[in-house]
Amino acid sequence: MLRFEDLRVRDNQDLDRDFFNRRYRLIAESLAELNTQLAQIGTATDNLVTLGLTRVNEVLGPALATASAAAENGFLVATSSTPLTLAVGLETSFEIDDTPARALFAPTPYVVISRGGIDSLNDWAVFRVAAYARENGGLAGEVVAMHGDIGAAQHDDWVISASAGLATALIEAAANVANTLLLAQQAAQDAADAAAVAESVLANGPVSSVNGQTGTVALGIGDIPTLTAQLASKAASSHGHTIAQVSNLQSTLDGLQAQITTVDGGSY
């Protein structure tokens, strides 16, 4: 390595050709050595970058591919091909399919179970999670609510969504629907009971407001007080009368005759 002492100029030193050549040679050799070291550093840097990129591809590449595949299928969503017939209260387990989504799937306390077909959008169930084993995809728990025809038959195209907030809302909605249905059934039963009582009263109950009679009532003319006497006192529908039978009729006619005679002197 070039040192300052190798280039120092002393007093009374001859500045001839050898003096300069020796120092120039030392400087050239030092620059050549530095160039070699720079080349080695560049090679080492390239090797380090290559090694880093290789490690990134080996470690982060699969993780990024897994995350990308899971994102395409929906965040926190997994599938299962376990054949099951669901029912409320059923304690069972699903085997999450061995796909990239399994590595990222982290179920919440409640998950929504639906089916893969587009004709089953209204069919779903709420599943209370008891345990999940990521290494084999085992998801154990209990079915706590269902909607639609998801439990009508055995299926194996399950789509499992981890969404605690949605599951809670679905449970509350299912409870409200159940309570409303119970109240409606009770109201219908009360109405049926009331109708039965009314029908019984109409069929068998006594009647106390028809002319003092009870039971099946049939009224005749004689059952109505004074009706016969009142009908007998009525005038006949056709009859004739003389002038004398009409009060004041003759005297009124006589008075009219006198007035006419006074006016025109005629007689009639």
- Asked if the model's pLDDT at residue 268 lies above 60, the reply is no
Considering the domain architecture, whether residues 51 and 109 belong to the same structural domain is answered as no
Q: Are residues 59 and 84 in the same domain?
A: no
Closest CA to 111 of 150, 151, 143: 143
162-187 residue pLDDT tens:
865 455 555 665 666 667 677 777 87
The token duo for 38 is: 């720079």
CA atoms within 13 A on the CB side of 113: 37
Rounded Cα distance, 253 and 54, in Å: 144
Residue 5 within any structural domain of the chain: yes
* pLDDT for 96: 92
Residue 228 inside a domain? The answer is no
CA distances from 106 to 101, 115, 131, 134, 189 (A): 10, 19, 11, 8, 47
What is the C-alpha separation between 253 and 194, in angstroms, rounded? 74
Q: What is the mean pLDDT of residues 119-142?
A: 90
Do residue 89 and residue 61 come from a single domain? no
Domain membership of residue 215 (yes or no) is no
Same domain, 119 and 61: no
State how far the Cα of 170 lies from the Cα of 167, in Å rounded to an integer. 5
Instruction: Note whether 94 and 114 are same-domain residues.
Output: yes
Predicted TM-score (pTM) of the model is: 0.41
Q: What is the pLDDT of residues 38-60, one digit of tens each?
A: 888 888 888 888 888 887 777 76
Q: What is the tens place of the pLDDT at every residue in 16-26?
A: 888 888 888 88
pLDDT exceeds 70 at position 191: yes
The burial class, CB within 10 Å (0-12 / 13-18 / 19+), for 26 is: middle
82 and 167 fall within a common domain: yes
Residue 75 has pLDDT above 60, yes or no: no
Instruction: State residue 74's pLDDT score.
Output: 47
Give the residue from 156, 176, 196 where a domain finishes: 176
Domain match, 64 and 94 both: no
Q: Which of 155, 176, 197 is the last residue of a domain?
A: 176
**pLDDT tens profile 220-232:** 666 667 767 766 6
Residue 32 included in any domain = yes
In a domain, 23, yes or no: yes
- Please report the pLDDT score of residue 253 as a whole number: 72
Last residue of a domain, one of 30, 54, 73: 73
Residue 162's pLDDT is 81
Q: What percent of the chain has pLDDT over 70?
A: 65
- Is residue 239 situated within a structural domain? no
Q: What is the pLDDT of the chain when averaged over all its residues? A: 77
Task: Judge whether 117 lies within some domain.
Answer: yes
Helix (H, G, I), strand (E, B) or coil at 210: strand
Q: Is the pLDDT of residue 267 over 60?
A: no
Q: Contact, 150 vs 113, CB < 8 A?
A: yes
Taking 50 as the threshold, does the pLDDT of residue 115 lie above it?
Answer: yes
Q: Which of the 8 DSSP states describes residue 82? A: -
Answer yes or no: do 11 and 65 share one domain.
Answer: yes
Task: Tell me, yes or no, whether 209 lies in a domain.
Answer: no
Name the strand (E) or helix (H) holding 35.
helix 17-73
For 107, the domain range is 77-176
Burial of 105: CB neighbours in 10 Å, binned 0-12, 13-18, 19+: buried
State the DSSP string of 85-138.
---TT-EEEEEB-SSHHHHH----SEEEEEESSGGGTT-EEEEEEEEEETTTTE
User: For 111-125, 143-157, 223-237, which range has the lowest pLDDT when averaged over its residues?
Assistant: 223-237
Number of domains in the chain: 2
